């Protein structure tokens, strides 16, 4: 690696929590559970999946079984992106879209490839951005898909820059009031916001051991379901879709439990979803024209 290509630290880390979180992602550079899955097609995801898996693959043995499990997890993670592209359907290829917390780029590339629009990813993890920019060149879309170093809740973009904003499984890392206010600021009036997240089901419980175990594993703060709706309204975004996919989120974790690459977080995810302490939600909203 030449000195020019060494990822530089991102100046967007603002406080002790963000420092700790940044370090967590800096330290996570040999994550085979993500890197091996994307090696076949250059789509690297940092989200999970919904829907069933092909149960026959568990009949295979040894290395074959492991290879099939990873391939199936990758298929499911890639298909998960249709939750975002589906909620963005109808967007013009001339549209400009922001990806909040763009990871290694998997969702941004699929949004661009399926909808044609320009995508600007924001991420404070320099090695992710470096990795994703490299992929953009290889996928020949570096003039349409960008990865910016910075904090997704304090972006450099002018007011009303984007026709749509989405964030795929990242909001457990951010203050919802601050984030939704920023997303609404950069959205044009009538623009669409789409978010996929896991959240604590506060209709069911105010404290869950399993949810706390997930928080500890990923250095995150899982928000309550009601907070999402409250903060959207506060930011002047009017919800048009709230889909609960909690049941559908369980098979992915069952499958992942069979992988040699399992990390231990499979147990609290399964526990939390089965107890209905954790929900998997897709939310879409439009920025009010009166906001």
Residues within the interface to ligand GPP (CB under 6 A):
31, 33-34, 46, 101, 103, 169-170, 218, 220, 263, 265
Kindly tell me which of 102 and 246 has the beta carbon lying closer to ligand GPP. Answer: 102
Task: Pick the closest to residue 166 from 284, 43, 82, 12 (CA basis).
Answer: 284
Q: CA triplet 213, 166, 75: central angle to 5 degrees?
A: 70
What is the rounded distance in angstroms from the CA atom of residue 128 to the CA atom of residue 149? 9
- Looking at residue 224, the DSSP 8-state letter turns out to be B
Please report how close the Cβ of residue 207 comes to ligand GPP at its closest, in angstroms: 20
**DSSP letter assigned to residue 46:** -
Name the residue number minimizing CB distance to Mg ion.
34
**Smaller CB separation from ligand GPP, 165 or 236:** 165
User: Which of the choices Mg ion, ligand GPP, none does residue 157 contact, using the CB cut-off of 5 to 8 A by kind?
Assistant: none
How would you class 157 by CB atoms within 10 Å of its CB: exposed for 0-12, middle for 13-18, buried for 19 or more? Answer: middle
Minimum CB distance to Mg ion smaller for 76 or for 91: 76
Residue 101 interacts with, from ligand GPP, Mg ion, none (CB under 5-8 Å by kind): ligand GPP
Instruction: Tell me which of ligand GPP, Mg ion, none is bound by residue 231, counting a contact when its beta carbon lies within the kind-specific cut-off of 5 to 8 angstroms.
Output: none
Nearest approach in angstroms of CB 262 to Mg ion is 11
Task: Pick between residue 103 and residue 191 the one whose CB is nearest to ligand GPP.
Answer: 103
Chain residues binding Mg ion by CB under 5 A are: 34
How does strand 96-100 pair with strand 118-123?
Answer: parallel
Residue 20 CB, nearest distance to ligand GPP (Å)?
A: 14
- In whole angstroms, give the CA distance from residue 192 to residue 238: 9
State the residue number with the nearest CB to ligand GPP.
Answer: 103
Least distance (Å) between residue 48 CB and Mg ion: 7
Which CB, 78 or 236, lies closer to ligand GPP? 78
Q: Are 282 and 83 in contact (CB under 8 A)?
A: yes
CA angle 229, 145, 158 (to 5 degrees): 60
């Amino acid at each position: 690696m030449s000195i020019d290509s060494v990822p530089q630290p991102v100046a967007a880390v603002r406080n002790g929590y963000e420092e700790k979180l940044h370090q967590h992602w800096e330290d996570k550079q040999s994550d085979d559970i993500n890197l091996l899955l994307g090696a076949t097609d250059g789509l690297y995801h940092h989200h999970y999946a919904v829907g069933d898996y092909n149960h026959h693959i568990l009949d295979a043995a040894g290395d074959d079984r492991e290879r099939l499990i990873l391939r199936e997890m990758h298929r499911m993670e890639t298909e998960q992106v249709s939750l975002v592209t589906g909620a963005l359907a109808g967007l013009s290829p001339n549209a400009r879209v922001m990806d909040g917390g763009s990871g290694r780029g998997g969702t941004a590339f699929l949004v661009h490839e399926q909808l044609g629009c320009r995508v600007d990813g924001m991420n404070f993890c320099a090695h992710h951005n470096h990795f994703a920019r490299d992929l953009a060149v290889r996928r020949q879309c570096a003039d349409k898909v960008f990865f910016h170093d910075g904090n997704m809740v304090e972006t450099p973009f002018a007011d009303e820059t984007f026709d749509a904003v989405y964030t795929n499984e990242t909001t457990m890392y951010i203050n919802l009031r601050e984030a939704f206010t920023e997303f609404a600021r950069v959205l044009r009036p009538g623009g669409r916001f789409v978010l996929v997240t896991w959240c604590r089901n506060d209709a069911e419980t105010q404290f869950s051991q399993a949810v706390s175990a997930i928080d500890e594993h990923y250095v995150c703060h899982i928000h309550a379901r009601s907070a999402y709706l409250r903060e959207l309204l506060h930011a002047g975004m009017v919800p048009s879709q709230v889909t609960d996919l909690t049941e559908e989120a369980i098979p992915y974790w069952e499958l992942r439990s069979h992988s040699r690459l399992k990390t231990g977080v499979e147990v609290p995810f399964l526990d939390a979803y089965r107890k209905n302490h954790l929900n998997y939600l897709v939310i879409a909203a439009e920025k009010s024209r009166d906001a």
